[in-house]
Amino acid sequence: MTLSAKLVFFMKFSPYRIISFGYIFCLLALVIYSYTQIDLNLTLSGNLIYQQVQGQLIFLGYFQRHLSALIYSLIQLIMFGLYFYLMRQVLSHRLNLQQIVKLILLVSVIAILSYPALSHDIFNYMFDARIVTKYHLNPYFFKANDFPGDLWVRFMHWTHRYYPYGPIWLILTLPFSYLGFGKFVLTLMNFKLMFFLFHLGNLYLINKITQKLYPEDRLTSLVFYGLNPLIISESLVSPHNEVMMLFFALAALYWGALQNSRMKYIILMILSAGVKFITIALLPLILFKKHINDKSVLEFMIKSSLILTVLFISLEIYYREAYPWYFIIFIGFSSLLIKYKKLLVFTFILSLSALGRYVPFLYEGVYSDNLQRTKNIIFYLPIIVCLIYYIFSLRRLKQ
């Protein structure tokens, strides 16, 4: 190979390509790692080769917990480092739309191949729909424990609870449950596909809204949301219905507020609240529309939505704990306000510390008061330090 050919070959591996490859490699590692957390009562395949590989992964996840927690921590830290670099690249206008779309699509497709390792909520979603599609009963009045003979109950958590979500969420899940034909793996794949489609819908709406509001920053918004490791983890790896709640809230902003239609806004925001109830608090914001022009109203409503969301998330945390998926909608609204760099940095720290809450359980494997304290320290300490820094920065500016 001549010197010029070597130079051309080397130039093909631009920093973007190298970082993108590194990010995808880390995500593949996370997908493989997710299978270390398969419930011991669950068998995904009877294939002998798969069983051998699965046995090794389960041994790592359940019986080498110190190493397991270390591997997970390293994967997440490296992903956040690469995510930070990609954010800097797009902020410097070194990435184009085609590069970003290709990377986000590839990342999203890879992520849905994972096992829902860090949360069992998707199994509850599946069984809630199964109560309707298989048993023809109402999950608001029947729970998983009412069906002790069903094999799916063996690997579920929270089997004692009744259906806690809005009716819209149940309606959305029913087609994917029917198309599973009662087969667990096929139903799981269908539900993963559902989350994948709504995730892409969120990216589409974020792009459309920022294109109208801050067109020069829309690529940054796409990277900020689409490659955020918390969004990937909680929307695709171990998905939660906050993804759908956010979709309808974004749709209300785009097809309702931006297009000057109160009725569309009200209908779409009711659909959002019909998934999980907290976005009902955003419904009255449309009443302020007549006081300001179209672009101003959208920014006003996004900021107001973000503030109200923080209040309701704080209440959820107070009554339960700081589950990472609670912040999906916060990150979604924050991605629309990308010009506020301090919000961007705060959201980065919030995402990292929220995912860090998984590490103590991966390390210990049992819930305890000490584990809860450790999780709280990992989550709250970086956020408090960040807020204190911002407060002192404001004081310096005033002086």
Q: What angle do CA 314, 316, 319 make, to 5 degrees?
A: 110
Look up the pTM and report it: 0.93
pLDDT at 224 over 60: yes
Positive or negative torsion for Cα 53, 58, 59, 64: positive
Distance (Å) of CA 16 to CA 21, 95, 96, 335: 8, 8, 11, 22
Interval 256-264 mean pLDDT = 84
Rounded CA-CA distance 35/230 in Å is 18
pLDDT digits (tens, 9 = 90+) for 333-371: 999 998 888 999 999 999 999 999 999 999 998 888 888
Question: 251 near 205, Cβ under 8 Å?
Answer: yes
Cα torsion through 307, 312, 314, 317, rounded to 10: -150
- Asked whether residue 175 carries a pLDDT value surpassing 90, the answer given is yes
Q: Is the pLDDT of residue 14 over 60?
A: yes
- Give tens-digit pLDDT for 57-111: 999 999 999 999 999 999 999 999 999 999 999 988 888 899 999 999 999 999 9
- Please write down the HEC assignment for all residues of 117-166: CCCCHHHHHHHHHHHHHCCCCCCCCCCHHHCCCCHHHHHCCCCCCCCCCC
Amino acid in the structure at residue 356: G
Confidence band for 9, pLDDT divided at 50, 70 and 90 = very low
Candidates 325, 233, 322; CA nearest to 37 is 233
Dihedral sign (CA 69, 74, 79, 85): positive
- pLDDT the model gives residue 103: 95
